[in-house]
Structure 1
Amino acid sequence: MNCPVKVRHQSNFYGDFFGRKVSVEQRIQAVQRYLNGYETMLEIAKDIGVTVQVVSEWVRRYQKNDVETFLKPYTKYK
């Protein structure tokens, strides 16, 4: 996204970017697409409309807590 230097676009953890929410199913599919090794985080992020940082966080949480991480409201997992 080409934005003026002072403008920053951010998305939250759940993938809300300019009002678009990413479903649980889309998050799980995005993580699996990355872990299968066929697509980069950047390709996946662009495809679903979130930042690479969001996809990276999804992957990190998935690797730590599996699918359950997307089924519960976000809390600190042990």
Structure 2
Amino acid sequence: MNLQYIQDSSGKPTGVFIPIKDWEKLKDSLLGTKKSAKDNSKKKIFEDLLKAVEEVNLAKQGRTKLKSFDDFLNEL
């Protein structure tokens, strides 16, 4: 990657110029990471919902006691 640094009048670096091909690769890489994180978030939500359903089913069977809404909020 051939980087060119942009400087202000005092010589302080203020930016970087990279070739468009390198930018496209970098952008695709970053967007892929965001998609992965989004997919992982969806997976986590689904797993948490399954766990909640299991807890409710156990409570219905009398095998566990559910938390009060206040206790739930206090955990957040």
Query: After TM superposition, is the score higher than 0.5?
Result: no
Larger Rg: 2
Structure richer in strand, relative to its length: 2
| Larger RCO (CA within 8 A; separation ≥ 6) | 1
The two structures have a TM-score, normalised by structure 2, of 0.27
